[in-house]
Structure 1
Amino acid sequence: MTGFRRLAALLLAALALLAGATACATRPPAADPPGPVDDPASAFPAKVQIPGQEPVTLPQQPKRIVSLSPTATETLYAVGAGDQVVAVDQFSDFPAQAPRTELSALNSDAAAIGGQNPDLVIAPDNATELAEGLRALDVPVLLTPAPASLDDAYRQIEVIGQATGHTKAAKDLAGRMRSDIERLVESTPKPPRPLTYYHEVSPDHYTATSQSFVGSVYARFGLINIADPAGGPFPQLSEEHIVQANPDLIFLADTKCCQVTAAAVAARPGWNALTAVREGRVVELDDDTAGRWGPRVVDLVRSISEAVKKTQHG
């Protein structure tokens, strides 16, 4: 009993000292307000909106999320909402634990999606008919367009975080991505002259111009896109156009879908004379990393940085 009383006395004394120190301490100078704290109980109901899309009202924190967007799926898990995800589309292959199904934003109807009993569905912005059907079932739908820039991508991540009750984690993630990307760009020496590049989306020479999201990423390094004169975000180039442009760098974003390799490119008629091929500047990208705008876009930026550095160091 004596030991118990002694322990209680020590605890009371410690609490008294802590209270006294807190009460008597000089108030520190004003600092920046702290970042938002995840508190799902107080954060809902919430109205969220991705710029250019309709606002979505969520009465409470979603517990059964269906993601029909591979980028959204990656983002959900990165911000800590993975446990709330009950189903993802057939193309959501990252992370591995995501519950993949045969669902598709373009081929599945509202009844099939509704069978998952979702309280939030995230889909690409071209799934308008599906969205209308789900809204008729009183299922909130957040449509996610392809961003035009990295800033748009950060904003989309933050909105997904807000919609799922992970506001702070999403803001932290976007902040880390921004810092990592800025550091990679700033640490990449500028070449003596602007470098040209070709970004291959498919072996039949569909590509992405500077009007696309991925094109805006390349632009951060001052690279010149040989496809820009073709216009539009995703034109198809002729083989003659590519050979005549003779790009300094070739980036392959069709290595997984179509098994295109640097060796296969070198074997194309006339391509072995291209500067990028002769000097070993054909970069094999991960299709998914190059085609999505979620957390792994940092990996794409790193690949571009390494390729640009290689042109200066041989």
Structure 2
Amino acid sequence: MADLKAMALILGGMLLAFPALASPVCATDDLGKEICLEQPAQRIAALSPGATELAWAAGAGDQVVAVVAYSDYPPAAKEVTSVGSHTRMDMERLLELQPDLVIGWVTGNPTEQLATLREMGVPVFSIEPRSFEAVSDTIERLSILAGTEAAGFAEADRFRKGITDLRARFSGADTVPVFYQVWDEPLMTVNRDHLIGEMIELCGGDNVFGHLERLVPRISAEAVIAANPEAILAGGMGEENRHWLTRWQSFPSLTATERNNLFFIPPSLVQRPTPRMLEGTRLFCEKLEVARDRRP
């Protein structure tokens, strides 16, 4: 009898030591839906390049079995099976890979395809980080669902600290009127509520189109000329394509052109809500420092 009691105590202690074996893992997505898995995800499908980067940031790169076009970072992501683009997935191919978690993009993936996955019982965790803090928070939530909390929470903290340090460094910087070009044809920018808008503000920039209502508004070249930004920053179709800045060289009366404050920023460092935004923000802040130094 004593041996049975001792064994019961041992088994009870083991169950207390390994609660994850008996409990599901849960996290709430950016649609406010709680997603629960019976066990941490082992076969993850990331349906945007940003989601792919965030899965790796969460420490779950080895569990990613499906990505979409332009999922080019980290380099290992290029070796993962592609299931189409973020705007149209090959559903048959995706389901053949038997994902136990799909990371969806709230405004980027087709709602009907995500709905189909949910109807078939595939867990879909929808994300769309719109602030620096949301980037860290998303990494943490993904790491919970993937069972990689140690790596994910460490990366989230690293990103938070980096952003906090930059914010302190540039908190007293002189304001620089800025136009950020997010697309060329049609000409598009971002408002102050966009994550890039937060980046501009952190670096001491004044987004000349920050007041516009739409998150990613269309504008005209005439509107840029009228706003007369002191610095123009742009990405392009690719990491080395700087031609979007060429058009502004034909407007010598623009302050940004006159002072040679036309700066290229690799788009993947700025336009994907991932930890690489820390590097992009540092670069953005450095460009605005150059603009300050060029003042007469």
Q: Give the TM interval when normalised to the shorter protein.
A: 0.7 to 0.9
Give the equivalent residue in structure 2 for 1:162: 144
Pick from 51, 58, 79: which aligns with 1:79?
A: 58
CA distance, structure 1, for counterparts of residue 68 and residue 142 of structure 2: 17
TM-score of the pair, normalised by structure 2? 0.84
- In the superposition, relative to structure 1, how do residues 279 and 140 fare at CA in structure 2: closer, same or farther (>3 Å)? same
Give the equivalent residue in structure 2 for 1:148: 130
Unaligned runs of 5+ in 1: 1-38
Q: How far did residue 109 of structure 1 move?
A: 5.2
Unaligned runs of 5+ in 2: 1-17
Q: How far did residue 214 of structure 1 move?
A: 1.1
Map 1:132-143; keep pairs closer than 5 Å: 132-143=115-126
Larger radius of gyration: 1
Q: How far did residue 100 of structure 1 move?
A: 4.6
Is 1:236 aligned to 2:218, yes or no?
Answer: yes
String of CA shifts for 1:49-96, please: whole Å, max 9, x gaps. Answer: 124331111111211111112112112112321111111111211111
CA distance, structure 1, for counterparts of residue 245 and residue 39 of structure 2: 53
Map 1:100-249; keep pairs closer than 5 Å: 100-108=81-89, 110-126=91-107, 127=109, 128-145=111-128, 147-188=129-170, 190-192=172-174, 194-204=175-185, 205-249=187-231
String of CA shifts for 1:185-214, please: whole Å, max 9, x gaps. Answer: 32237344x211001011232111112111
Give the equivalent residue in structure 2 for 1:302: 282
- In the superposition, relative to structure 1, how do residues 100 and 260 fare at CA in structure 2: closer, same or farther (>3 Å)? farther
Matched residue of 1:122: which SS?
strand
Amino acid at match of 1:68: L
Q: How far did residue 265 of structure 1 move?
A: 3.5
Q: What is the percent sequence identity of the aligned residues? A: 27
TM-score of the pair, normalised by structure 1? 0.79
Matched residue of 2:42: which SS?
coil
String of CA shifts for 1:92-132, please: whole Å, max 9, x gaps. Answer: 11111111514234312543321111111111013332222
* Alpha carbons 2:232, 2:263 under 8 Å: kept: yes
How many correspondences in the alignment?
272
